[in-house]
Chains A and B, each alone.
Chain A
Amino acid sequence: MSFANTIRRRLILLVFVVFGVSVVTFVISHMIPGDPARMMAGERATNETVAHIRAELGLDKSIPVQYVTYVRGLLHGDFGISIRTQRPVIDDILLFFPATIELAIAALLLAIILGIPLGVLSAVAKDKAVDQVSRTISVTGISTPAFWLGLLLIYVFYGRLGILPGSGRIASDIPPPHTVTGFYTIDALIAGNGRAFVSALLHLILPALTLGFVHLGIVTRQIRSAMLEVLQEDYIRTARASGISRVRIVFHYALRNALIPSVTMIGLAFGDLLYGAVLTETVFAWPGMGNYVVQSITALDFPAIMGFTVVASTAYVLLNMLVDLLYMFLDPQIREVG
């Protein structure tokens, strides 16, 4: 199958997935007992006030009618108005989603940049000291709860050493850079604002480490076991017998094959990071989607919950498409057979 075909099929699939997810979310969130109008009016509001708000929000209509209205708006790019913040949902999403993605990318980069070399080293020097250290790191990474690690890092690097900020995305006395991508680091670079860039980068380190540590452990282990398996293969023995250098064998022949299963895992990890950022965001007062969604759910803010679901499921499907394309790129067999 060609790249173009894969993309086309995935995009068609995307429409169905998003439609399905949106119907399910819409129905579930409207079936939960509880009244967003009452959440908004305050708990002692009179029944008349609640009824007034229900009518204003269109909540007095039947669920199918509400859904059709919602989808009609969605097709025009209108995500509705958040019940809780009274702002257009799309504005809130554009505000909070980039923060989460920036954090997730930073966490993933950390996991890959540190995890792949660690995994390779670990496999090559199996059972030696390096391997033990790397395995300790990965087991610790997998088993450390993020909120605990986050607090520990804050305590050490902000509280004791005072070398890194403990919360937020940027120092409070530096105005955030003009929004282009929504990533503070990149926007600061675009604006040529060095001070903002350094501050944004420094603020990113601890939360990215906290969020990425689990995946660092997973990547390391995955690469290690895949490498160990590949290094047993006949063609590696052949290569070794032909006198090819060890470094070349490891990196040229072994790692490429060992990477293939890891690509899927890393792709899924990114989705996981997007969803799993809630705790990290809480600990570091990171203004991302996690907090926003939790607050929206507590307030039964349907438009916000729906908006997040639609955007997140779209991102997830696109991500999977990217993984498949990468797969095809790495493994010619998939291209030919698929």
Chain B
Amino acid sequence: MNRMLRGVLAAGIVGLGAISATLLAPVPAQATQPDELVIGKSGDPDTLDPAVTVTNNSWTATYPAYERLLKFKVVDGKGSTEVEGDVAKSWSASDDGKTWTFVLGDGHVFADGTPLNAAAVKFSFDRVIKVGKGPGDLFGQVASVEAPDDHTVKFTLKAAFAPFLATLVDDGASIVNPKVMEHEVNGDMGQAYLSDHTMGSGPYQVASWEKSQQIVMTPNPHWTGNLAFKQIVIRIIKEASARRLQLEKGDLDLIEDVPVDQLKALGAAPGVKVVDEPSFFVTYLYLNNTHKPLDNVKVRQAISYAVDYKGIIDGILLGQGVQMRGDVPVGLWGHDDSVMQYNYDPDKAKALLAEAGVKDLTLGYLYAKTDPNWENIGLVLQQNLAPLGIKVEMQENAYPTMRDKLNKGDFDIAAGNWTPDYADPQMFMNFWFDSKLHGLPGNRAFYTNPKVDELIRAAEIAPTEEARVKLYDEAQKITVEEAPYVLLFQRNYQFAMRDNVKGFVYNAMQLQIYNFATMSKGS
């Protein structure tokens, strides 16, 4: 026994020695190379299959790995919401808007050397529809896809659908190498294989993925353009302070998810620049239009007048956002700058509530910790509504539970965020107000107005942008007036990078997606 204990003590001393020795030993340098881009991300992607994933966090890797028929145009170095050809070099639509024909360009080759042809496009759309997961919903209007020859793809829609072109830029429209079927197991169309591999014709392909650690992407050998980076490394670092420290030290070139309270300090750090741009990310409150007395338009308007918008934006967002005007965010076509905007007017709110004959009211406020702003917004709401005699009860739930309640309409007021999947006002107007979409799919206020239904459904199929905007404007006047939602703010999107990273093009539609192929690093 004595020997054993002496052993333990000796081990202790050796251990101490080893620790001090390793403390003094030099650490291999981790600074990034000029021909690599190292990104710090807060979470691992879920899956890399473009027919399955619906999160921007995964699109960081999937979007540059695939090409699509169309892409967003870059205007004066800024991303726009207008589309232009990517794999498709031209396209045309039939008069009834139901048939769309695309002519493919040459020179698009999958990473394994297989040329990208019309059959591959048909395969990819058939696949995403058949797999039937989240991205499949984008193409619910597609009745059939045909590939009459190598360069022609013909889509037939069930009914005219004006936003169709806009959906073709989405990650779900990615063109997948049909050879993925060689990896099919149990009829999954290669879902298991594509969950951690990429098989696209984009500039970079996933070379390795060590789960929860890093993803390494390397160039598609058949990519025709010049690529500045020999590899892209996406590192998963959950803790915000750790990401920030590594960016400041130059071990990372770009970091996502910078908390607003750290932005200022980070912007002042040497060698670091902060990207701070308006986005289409909106935060708003759902008022359950089927719950009494929220079914009364005057009560909803009173709440919209009672909210201190500026206080919320300055206090919670630290000024990094703007109050919404109308339902379509500024920057997206279809936004109407002339539509009425509610302002903070407690007297008007009181008067409206008195007109409605409502007093001593208690309303629940449903939220989750998913977005840290939601709790703070609830607290402000509590304060703002108290003088009106409305008591707000904070109801925190786990996010999955909250979603369940939202879908069932089991709430009075709830917090929510919304970003468009494609650049079309339909993403706001039709989703938010169509009475067919009550619940999570979009109309979370459970709002019903036949006139609005008629207008937005007409706008969805109207042939020209002009005609569509007119219909949406008309609908928006009604929806703003009837206030089914409290339109809070449109948030800025921020992240930070080293100041030698060049060529990044911001597009409000493509958060967490980077144009790796045209980015580079200076000295």
Contact = CB atoms under 8 A, between A and B. Distances in A.
B191 to A, nearest CB: 6
B23 A163 contact: yes
Contacts, number: 193
A127 interface: no
B212 A291 contact: yes
Interface in A235-286: 248, 251-252, 255-256, 282-285
B245 A159 contact: yes
A284 to B, nearest CB: 7
Contact of A87 (B28, B192, B242): B192
B404 A205 contact: no
Contact of B235 (A110, A117, A172): A172
A167 B30 contact: no
B242 A284 contact: yes
Contacts of A300: 400
Interface string B213-245: 110000000000000000001011111011001
A44 B2 CA distance: 68
A42 B442 CA distance: 12
A36 B8 CA distance: 50
Contacts of B401: 32-34
Contact of A46 (B28, B140, B245): B140
Contact of A86 (B15, B195, B403): B195
Nearest to A87: B195
Contact of B211 (A47, A49, A92, A166): A92
B242 A85 contact: no
Interface stretch (A14-22, A150-158, A317-325): A150-158
B441 interface: yes
A202 B132 contact: no
Interface string B333-368: 000000000000000000000000000000000000
Interface residues of A, number: 74
B399 A298 contact: yes
B440 interface: yes
Contacts of B441: 44-47
Interface residues of B, number: 68
B6 interface: yes
Contacts of B19: 205
Contact of A167 (B43, B210, B237, B399): B237
Contacts of A166: 242, 245-246, 251
B265 interface: no
A86 B30 contact: no
B418 to A, nearest CB: 9
Contact of A45 (B47, B137, B195): B137
A85 B47 contact: yes
Contacts of A41: 54, 133-134, 137
B5 interface: yes
B75 interface: no
B237 A285 contact: yes
A336 interface: no
A23 interface: no
Contacts of B192: 81, 86-87
Contacts of B268: none
B6 to A, nearest CB: 7
Contact of B245 (A35, A158, A198, A287): A158
Given A114-B16, A155-B245, A52 B132 contact: yes
A113 interface: yes
A92 B405 CA distance: 31
A285 B134 contact: no
B132 A49 contact: yes
A130 interface: no
Interface in A127-153: 151
A175 to B, nearest CB: 8
B259 interface: no
Nearest to B417: A43
Contact of B440 (A38, A162, A164): A38
A201 B241 contact: no
Nearest to B44: A295
Contacts of B24: 163
B255 interface: no
B407 A86 contact: no
Interface of A: 32-36, 38-47, 49, 52-53, 81, 84-87, 92, 95-96, 109-110, 113-114, 116-117, 151, 154-155, 157-159, 162-169, 171-174, 176, 195, 198-199, 201-202, 205, 248, 251-252, 255-256, 282-285, 287-288, 291-292, 295, 298-300
Interface of B: 1-2, 5-6, 8-9, 11-12, 15-16, 19, 22-28, 30, 38, 43-44, 46-47, 49, 52, 54-55, 132-134, 136-137, 140, 191-192, 195-196, 210-214, 233, 235-239, 241-242, 245-246, 249, 251, 398-401, 403-405, 407, 421, 431, 440-442
Given A44-B441, A109-B15, A162-B27, 8 more contacts: A39-B403, A41-B133, A45-B137, A45-B440, A86-B47, A164-B23, A165-B30, A292-B212
Pairs of residues from A and B, 6 with the lowest C-beta to C-beta distance, nearest first: A34-B400, A42-B54, A287-B212, A42-B134, A86-B195, A113-B15
30 contacts: A32-B398, A33-B400, A33-B404, A33-B405, A34-B398, A35-B403, A39-B403, A41-B134, A42-B54, A45-B137, A84-B47, A85-B46, A85-B211, A86-B191, A87-B196, A114-B12, A117-B8, A151-B239, A151-B241, A154-B245, A155-B245, A163-B23, A163-B26, A165-B27, A167-B235, A167-B239, A171-B30, A172-B30, A201-B22, A299-B46
